[in-house]
Each structure stands twice: as structure tokens, then as C-alpha cells.
Structure 1
């Protein structure tokens, strides 16, 4: 055995034994071998690849893998090409997972606009239908005949207040400025990614997108904060109505019903919290989570 082959043999034996004691030292020995020698046994290459892959150094492992494949094709080392092809495929997949292909600005913009458009559509649909689905009294068969004669009926059923008109023109319209102020303040919460507020006649639709992992309780807290912010902006615009306070979301909601959806997206399983409020109610009714 030549002196150089003897050195390679001793280094390989040392590296294999060191794997059981200290993998970092063993990896250093394998790297020294690959830099200065051409091992003839495929196991040596596999051991070096394994230690590098274990440390997520996939590019270096792939380089050794390709070198082994070239040597096998040249009949310079033992081993099967198929085994290293399998290793190559696995390493390339892991490299791709760590470095995903960048999405072009055009493609990203399309996805964002598509999602926003769907979210607007969802909130509009919710304004018309979610309120009925969310009614806390929907499972109770109630005879509403003569409800106006009941004591406190105006508070329970939201009947007209003295002097209140049924005109289609809203007494205190929600302006773009109020919505902009509310959105700006709401987005200061680190877990809020988008806020949509849609006035529709006497109903206000709130659509709030939050970060993944946000709890149902936190979603409700965010929604209440956004609702109160809008009430504060309304009271600053209309001096004759009061803003939010203890036990009150704000007097603006004596004139609007609320439909609230908070979630990470627009599909049914992405909505985390749903809430509604009648004009005559002081609190938001939160639907029980399906999860």
C-alpha cells in the first residue's frame, strides 16, 4: 500500500471512530479527506454527506454527492449511481424549500388584489345574510305579535326611538375620513394586516384580516378596539353624539347595526370570530366558534 493510500486509510478510520464521539471533529476529518484525496469507497462520501445534511449545509453536501456520482460513472469508486441520485433529489428539494423561487411583482399583485376583492365581496354578503344567521334568538320560537306593547320592547327589538325617522338618508353618515382614521389606528396592532369597513344603509360591515395564529379572544379584542375607534372618529365629526365610554361602544351605533368578521382569510374555515350588534343593543353578540 502506498504512503498516500495509507494516509487516506488512517484518516478514514479516524473519521469513522470519531463519529461516535464528536461529529464536528469527524466532519472536519471528512472534509480534509475530500479536499486532499479521492476515497474509493462510497460509504465515505455518504458519511460526509450525512453529517453535512444533518447540519442543514445542503449545498456542500450536494457538491460531494455530485462528485461521487461522477466518480461512479468513471468507475473510480464503488457504489451505485441510483443511490446517489436519490440523495441528490432529496438535497435539491431541501435547498428549494430553504430558498423558494421569488414571486414576480405582477403575480404577487394579482394574488393580493384577488384576495382583497374576495374579502370585500365576503363582507358585502355578510352584511345582508350573516346577521340573520348570527341572531342569538334564532333557536327560540317567539310570537312577536304585539311586541310594541311589551315593557322595554324598544330596547329588545330595536323599534324606533322618539323623534327618529325612517328616512333612507342616514342622520350620521360614515365618511371616508372616519374609515381612514380607523384603519390607520387599527393597523398599528402588530397582528392586524388589513381592515375593511363598508357602510350599507343602516348597517356597518367590518372585515378584519389578522395574522395566522391569532386567538379567537384576541380577534374579538381587536374588533372591539376598531369599532370604538370608528365611534371616536364619528363623535369628533358630529359634536352631538358621544364617543365610546364605560359600558358603551359609542352613540354612533344607535344608528347602525354591526356585522363583524375577523380571520386570516375569507373562507369559512379562515374566519375566527363573527359578531353582530343590533341598534338597540349595548354589546356585540359573538357567535360561538365552530372549532
Structure 2
């Protein structure tokens, strides 16, 4: 697999996973895919079209649909052309009803650039295992309050007006995220989890099982944060690792936006929090 194909595969897997956690984040990853790659799987086109149409962004959805039809005819994408032709008809009817001109694909402005940094996995695993056995994570009981909240939710991490000009001192890598996610999903009440780095902000999202309490949701979020900070401190020795009463040094370099819930719908949230870089504590918002 070429480097470009590997990058496309990683982004596609991340987008598909984030669909179950936060659709806005997933959509922005799909848009990044279509801006820089030509997907070969029809499901990628179908998912992007569905998320765009759901948000009434029919012109963008139609452009991707037209691309899918063209590539299926050229046998560059596997898929059923009649299905996309049906979607094409539906989108064109919607645009006609809205009185909008059916034109070419609008210019994309999203520039989400995930940071990729190769770190020897064996070293990270070794340090993380050592850290795991020296940090009493399973004794946590966390209810941190009282610091200023970041505005917006996980979807607000992606601002099309911004560019990736911020230099990150301690980049969060895919390997760190995978280690932390593997650790948190060992909990039977965690159904899925994801971490999205965007410039100097980390979006943390966890899908929990029905019946999970607010207190337990907060506890799981802290466990996830500590697992990530542990992996980071193993890679960057000058970062202090998390302890029983601290999250570690990593989060003095990142703002945090945290959502925990039964789904990515706000009414299903069981905990929602944030942290600014200068703060030592998490701020948990009151749920409706």
C-alpha cells in the first residue's frame, strides 16, 4: 500500500468511527478526504452525501454524487450506479424546490490537517505499560468543577476560517490515541471512543452503555485523558505523567472539549466538559 493510499485508509477509518461519536467531526474528515484524495469505495461517497444532505447542504452533496456516478461508469469506484442516480434525482429536486441553481462543486475551504508523527511503537508500549502499573487509575473518583469553559462542542473544533499555523510542542500521534483508546475500551460500559487533535485543541468523545451515570461518565473521561497523557509522557520524557490527583503535563499544551453520551445527540449526553490550557482542572457543564 502506497503512502497516499495508507493516509486515505487511516482518514476513512477515522471518519467512519467518528460517525458513531460526532457527525460534525466525521463530515469534516470526509470533506478533507474529498479535497485531497479520490476514494475508491462507494460507501465513502454515500456517507459524505448523507451527512451533507442531512444538513441541507445539497449542492455539495450533489457534487460528490456526480463524482461517484462518473467514477463508477469509469470503473474506478465499485458501486451500483443506479443507486447514486436515484440520489442525484432526489438532490436535484430538492435544489429545484429551493430555487437554487444546480452548478459545479463549490470551492472547499476546510483544511483539517491531522498531525502524523512516527514514533517507535515498541518504546511507547513499554513506557505505557510501566506507567499503567504505577498509576492507580481504577481508584479514581472525579468531580472537578470551577474553571472557565470553552465555547461550543466537539464540532466547533473545525473552523474553516483558521489555518494550521500553530506549532505544537508535543504532538499527539495516532499511536498515542490508539493506546489510550485500547485502554479505555477495556471498560465494559464504553462502547466506542475517539480523540481528534485539531491544532492546539483535543476533542475527546466517548460512547457509553445505557444506564451509565453522570459520575461514571466523568470518571471514564478522566481515565481516557490519563491514558493519553501517559502515552504522551512515555514519548516525551519532559512531560510529567498523570498521577492519582493530576492529569499530567500534556493538557497544559492543549485545550480540551469533552463529550460523553449514549450517542452523538446532545439530548443523550451524560457528561460534557472542557478545559483551557492554563487551568489545572476540568470544567463540567450542567446537563439539561
TM-score (ref. length: structure 2): 0.46
Which structure is higher in helix share? Answer: 1
Which structure has more relative contact order (CA 8 Å, sep 6+)? It is: 2
